[in-house]
Structure 1
Amino acid sequence: MYGDGGWGGQQAHTGRQSPYGGQPQHYPEQSQQSQQPQYDNGGWGDGRQADYGQAQQHYQQQYGEQQQYGEQGQYDQQQYDQQQYDQQYGQQYDQQQYAQPQQQYDNNGWATGTHPNVPYTDPSDPYGQQAMAYGAQQPDYYGTPDAYPPPEPPARRRAEPEPGPEPEATPRTDWDPGPDQGEHAFFAGGDDDEDGDDEAGGRGGRGDRKGRGGKPKKRRSGCACLVVLLVFGGGLGGVGYFGYQFYKDRFGSAPDYAGDGTNTTVTIEIPKGAGGYEIGRRLKDAGVVKSVDAFVSAQEQNAKGKTIQAGAYLLKKEMSAASAVEMMLDPKSQNNVLVRPGERNLSVYKTIDEQLDLSSGTTRKVAEKKYESLGLPSWANDNEEIKDPLEGFLYPGTYPAAKGMKPETVLKEMVTQAAKKYGEYDLDAKAKALDLDSPLQVITVASLVQAEGKTPDDFRKMAEVVYNRLKSSNTETNQLLQFDSTFNYLKNESNINISESEINSNQDAYNTYTQKGLPPGPIGNPGDDALKAALKPTDDGWLYFVATDGVNKTEFAKTYAQFEKLKDKFNESSGS
């Protein structure tokens, strides 16, 4: 009902913003209406005309002031009790004076002649009509602590503040995100226990911060800068360090010791198939060389560097990489046990004792007591008359055996290798195809082939001799193998000049002159060539063989008459 016409009766300029907040209000020119404005629940148009004079009188009675309207519509507030008004009002409400009472309110403007149905609760409250006209259901804050100060006459008004930073508001009851909405108070220079701004000197003004608590505002801008500087400096330092390390690794020389090393020695085990980097890593871990790259570089620069074999090496600590390569190429530094194809277990046990600096017979006793825990295949040791359960399972090759190691460790490595190699063949099926009883007999045949043959070409012929003599149709030898190697095995000898009386009088299960068929188990450790020959023998009808030169040359025969000729040839070469 009452527009912000000022205190002089003139209507406020269009678009002017109130110094106490709010938005500029624009009121376009309206058409004149012949009717008086009507109230309809806070609006206009229900046919009930409001008494303008009664509303004015009610306003005067409620607030204890005399309102007069002159010819220019001036509002006289001389008799207004300022103190009572200040206590009741906390917020300035603009009074709007309408020049034409016939104007109607329509859709937030003046021109259409229609109006929305806006709820209205108290027609006698002119200050509530404006808010309610927009549909807001607001509580009455007049006379409460949340109210704004009342309007004042022009003579007592203060000048509008110059544009500048918004004054800090009084403490809010709803959520306040802090300075700059989202900026942490730490970086804004605030303090955790900082009091709110004083309001001395008028609303919206910034009072003296010392006036309320006498405690100056603390700021952390210096601390924040220091933290940021430390973090930034630490990051630069880390990047620089890792960059330097990367440069050294890529372009700098590899770290290396100088000289032939200290007096402290260590044993290094190099597995089969290990390359330069793997060897260098093991040496570095043991303290022999300073870096892997230094060893790899020295190995590449040495013409024989790539010939380093698997095994155990006795080396010194803190050696130069070049010295380590040279020492590993020296056979004296190697601490290995070499198992040769066809070598018997008794010979292997003796070598292990020597390498481990153990008393004679120690490794053999360990083999007899712990053979079941060394990883034999399930089909091994299937005959009670087997003299050594590990015979045939110490696979030929080079194995680490340095002082300080246990015999069972060395033996287990050999047995594991044998089981791996034998597992590559389907020995069960091969045994049946060759008319043998078990996979162990296949290994036994291979050990005989290895012991009697001299060359890989001989091995297949020798394997055929074995299988032909084992046949039940064999009437030449009556299923007797008659191999000197089996008799020498039980005697632990290697004698080719055995008297017939000695052989024929011995009834041991390993004596193939007196016992038909194969011996109970292998008589040595066959190699790859002998095993392959046992699995794939020739089919030429060979039944006899003689080492005609007594050493390296073996000749074969299919009939007994041919065998007699070969025997004479042997006697001539040996001078007997």
Structure 2
Amino acid sequence: MTDYGRGQSLPSWHPDDPLFGDQGWDGGRDAAHPGDGGPQAGQYADPYSTGQHQVPHQQGYYGQQPQQGHYGQGGYEGGGPYDTGQGVGATDPRGMPAVDPYNTGQQPGYYAAQQGYPQQHQQQAQGYPGQYAQPGGQAGPDGYLPPHPGGPGGGPGRPEADPETGWDPGPDQGEHAFFADSDDDDEGYDDDHPKRSGRRNRDGDGKRRRGCACLAVSVVLMGGLGTAAYYGYGFYQTYFAPAPDYSGKGSGQVQVKIPDGASIADMGDELQKAGVVKSARAFVEASQAEKKSSGIQPGTYSMRKKMSGAAAVKLMLDPASQNGLIISEGLRAKAIYALVDEKLGEPKGTTEKVAKKARPSQLGLPRFAKGNPEGFLFPSRYSVGEGSAPEDVLRDMVGRAKAEHTKVDLAGQARKVGKTPEEILTIASLIQAEAQQDDEFGKVSRVIYNRLDKDMRLGFDSTINYAKGRSSLDTSVEDTKFKSPYNTYLNPGLPPAPIDNPGHQAIEAALKPTKGNWLYFVTVKPGDTRFTASKAEHDRNVQDFNKEQRKNKENGG
């Protein structure tokens, strides 16, 4: 009996096995064990009568190479397809050979003796074809060394080097060496052991690296938290915290210009830049609380420094703070010149002289204006601050008029109605002077178009007043004979140029007259303008107008 032994008896062959009872079956003990009279010692019996002695064949499982079984020093190695590991020659109570038909691969006779290595050898026996332990540390027929560290005869010690290749697997080879670097295998090493000390060094380096990694992560996290806190605080200050604001009405004086088209937020920005309010949001919030804040218009304002948002809104709604110049619709150029002089503190006539001497390009007038600013000083509110010059103010007005003309497409729309831009502005100036109510603008425009189409004189009192430089409702027969190219009682067609400065509504009415056949109109009294296409009816309306005028005179009106 060798170190491997024969093992215990195998369970009997199951009678349900399809191979049970086949011809050629030799279940005797001697058939399987060498030296006991079995056929071909050193090989398995042929249980299936194939005529071949069975050896482990690895087809489909170990590959295509059959593995030769070997008898070493009194024991069979390598196992067969039914090898249970219980030893060869064992029989069941009926004398049948103890063969494992299900090939469990358990070999307690060999592996039980290899303390601590059953899993290793089982994996090698199953996963590496032909790699089976050879007693005495000798390589098997397939050239593989035994994986189990054992000396000659299966004794302890290192396997000797391969005499052919000179390869020495050493103590660290095999599956055990793969896991030898684990913490559990550190036991048994001295501090001076090179492998032990090397591991310590590696552990120290690893710990330092892990420490550095943790520090880097901490720095990144701290930076991220700091950034989040910074932006979070900014978000809170912007949307939830009270707006930074001064208290009180402020002191000193500063001029603030609010540009055209500025929103409440834009106004707040301008005030903050000028030092009037502490923050634009303070002004915006104060304006939201004031219903009248929508009345704040672009212009130049006299403000104080370090005002609360509410105080700034209140002051901007006070006309006294508004340094803007308001030009009403229908004002003539002469009246506008006088307003500019007054606002700028210039001597009377200063702005008119500037307008007459200035080249059209200096004021931005179009060619068809022929150097005459009348009709191009657009009605609006203008900023007139400290240091403003008359020419600057007039240029702003002309620029505003040009912007309006572009907005309504003056040139294109004029062609559609068969007029020039200059004629449209002249018609608009007549409408602005004659109409009083909103619904009258289109009707007055229609009367002008109808009369021009019929080659009738317009006969507007407003043209006589312009020619004479006055404003009156009393037009006498003598006035109608006043010689002037602007007198539409004497001259057919339109006057040579606009007679005032029309606004947006009048320009729109000049381009789009209301449909109707009216040829006459007269304003009997405010709010009572009568339009008609009948001359007789118009004469009766004029009589009513005269009665109303006499009544006013009698009442001291």
Give the TM-score range, shorter chain. Answer: 0.5 to 0.7
**Equivalent of 2:51 in 47, 54, 63:** 47
Contact kept? 2:327, 2:336, Cα under 8 Å: yes
**Paired position in structure 2 for 1:132:** 129
**Paired position in structure 2 for 1:451:** 433
Is the aligned partner of 1:526 residue 2:502?
yes
Deviation at 1:518, TM superposition (A): 1.0
**Paired position in structure 2 for 1:294:** 282
**Paired position in structure 2 for 1:340:** 328
**Paired position in structure 1 for 2:400:** 413
Contact kept? 1:345, 1:391, Cα under 8 Å: yes
Structure 2 unaligned blocks of 5 or more? 15-19, 33-39, 57-67, 78-83, 91-96, 106-123, 132-140, 159-175
Contact kept? 1:456, 1:530, Cα under 8 Å: no
CA–CA distance in 1 between the matches of 2:76 and 2:69? 18
Contact kept? 1:200, 1:206, Cα under 8 Å: no
CA–CA distance in 2 between the matches of 1:396 and 1:260? 33
Q: 1:10 corresponds to which letter in structure 2?
A: G
**Equivalent of 2:423 in 441, 444, 460:** 441
* C-alpha spacing 1:459/1:129, structure 2 compared with 1 (3 Å): closer
Contact kept? 1:480, 1:513, Cα under 8 Å: yes
Deviation at 1:451, TM superposition (A): 1.9
Deviation string, structure 1 residues 319-372 (Cα, Å, up to 9, x no partner): 221221122122232232322111234544665677689973557777811677
**Equivalent of 1:269 in 252, 255, 258:** 258
Is the aligned partner of 1:223 residue 2:212?
yes
Contact kept? 1:8, 1:74, Cα under 8 Å: no
SS of residue in 1 equivalent to 2:207: coil
CA–CA distance in 2 between the matches of 1:10 and 1:498? 148
**Paired position in structure 2 for 1:8:** 3
Deviation at 1:283, TM superposition (A): 3.2
Q: 1:151 corresponds to which letter in structure 2?
A: G
**Paired position in structure 2 for 1:320:** 308
SS of residue in 1 equivalent to 2:195: coil
* C-alpha spacing 1:256/1:563, structure 2 compared with 1 (3 Å): closer
Residue identity over aligned pairs, in percent, reads: 31
**Equivalent of 2:360 in 356, 363, 368:** 368
SS of residue in 2 equivalent to 1:313: strand
- Name the count of aligned residue pairs: 447
Pairwise CA RMSD: 6.0
Q: 1:9 corresponds to which letter in structure 2?
A: Y
SS of residue in 1 equivalent to 2:129: helix
CA–CA distance in 1 between the matches of 2:423 and 2:445? 12
Deviation at 1:512, TM superposition (A): 3.1
**Paired position in structure 2 for 1:397:** 380
**Equivalent of 2:457 in 477, 480, 504:** 480
Deviation at 1:211, TM superposition (A): 9.1
**Equivalent of 1:99 in 80, 88, 104:** 88
CA–CA distance in 1 between the matches of 2:243 and 2:127? 87
SS of residue in 1 equivalent to 2:196: coil
Deviation at 1:555, TM superposition (A): 8.3
* C-alpha spacing 1:552/1:130, structure 2 compared with 1 (3 Å): closer
Deviation string, structure 1 residues 185-208 (Cα, Å, up to 9, x no partner): xxxxxxxxxxxx999969xx9822
**Equivalent of 2:493 in 484, 506, 517:** 517
* C-alpha spacing 1:228/1:556, structure 2 compared with 1 (3 Å): closer
* C-alpha spacing 1:390/1:252, structure 2 compared with 1 (3 Å): same
Contact kept? 1:548, 1:554, Cα under 8 Å: yes
* C-alpha spacing 1:308/1:11, structure 2 compared with 1 (3 Å): farther
Contact kept? 1:394, 1:415, Cα under 8 Å: no
CA–CA distance in 2 between the matches of 1:516 and 1:242? 74
Contact kept? 1:167, 1:206, Cα under 8 Å: no
**Paired position in structure 1 for 2:296:** 308
Q: 2:430 corresponds to which letter in structure 1?
A: L
**Equivalent of 1:68 in 68, 73, 79:** 73
Contact kept? 1:168, 1:206, Cα under 8 Å: no
**Equivalent of 2:514 in 511, 532, 536:** 536
1:193-232 mapped onto 2 (5 Å cutoff): 207-210=195-198, 217=205, 219-220=207-208, 221-232=210-221
**Paired position in structure 2 for 1:19:** none
Q: 1:542 corresponds to which letter in structure 2?
A: Y
Contact kept? 2:464, 2:479, Cα under 8 Å: no
SS of residue in 2 equivalent to 1:156: coil
Structure having the larger proportion of residues in helix: 2
Deviation string, structure 1 residues 39-87 (Cα, Å, up to 9, x no partner): 99xx9986344899xxxx9989xxxxxx532xxx599xxxxxxxxxxxx
CA–CA distance in 1 between the matches of 2:201 and 2:309? 75
Deviation at 1:269, TM superposition (A): 1.3
CA–CA distance in 2 between the matches of 1:332 and 1:254? 28
CA–CA distance in 1 between the matches of 2:251 and 2:437? 47
Contact kept? 1:315, 1:324, Cα under 8 Å: yes
CA–CA distance in 2 between the matches of 1:151 and 1:235? 61
Contact kept? 2:379, 2:501, Cα under 8 Å: yes
Contact kept? 1:311, 1:399, Cα under 8 Å: yes
Contact kept? 2:524, 2:542, Cα under 8 Å: no
Structure 1 unaligned blocks of 5 or more? 15-26, 61-66, 76-94, 111-126, 159-165, 172-178, 181-196
**Paired position in structure 1 for 2:136:** none
Deviation string, structure 1 residues 495-516 (Cα, Å, up to 9, x no partner): 78899899868564x4434432
**Paired position in structure 1 for 2:318:** 330
Deviation string, structure 1 residues 1-38 (Cα, Å, up to 9, x no partner): xxxx9x62326899xxxxxxxxxxxx987679517689
Q: TM-score, normalised by structure 1?
A: 0.56
Contact kept? 2:302, 2:323, Cα under 8 Å: yes
Deviation string, structure 1 residues 126-162 (Cα, Å, up to 9, x no partner): x99984379xxxx97747xxx956434666369xxxx
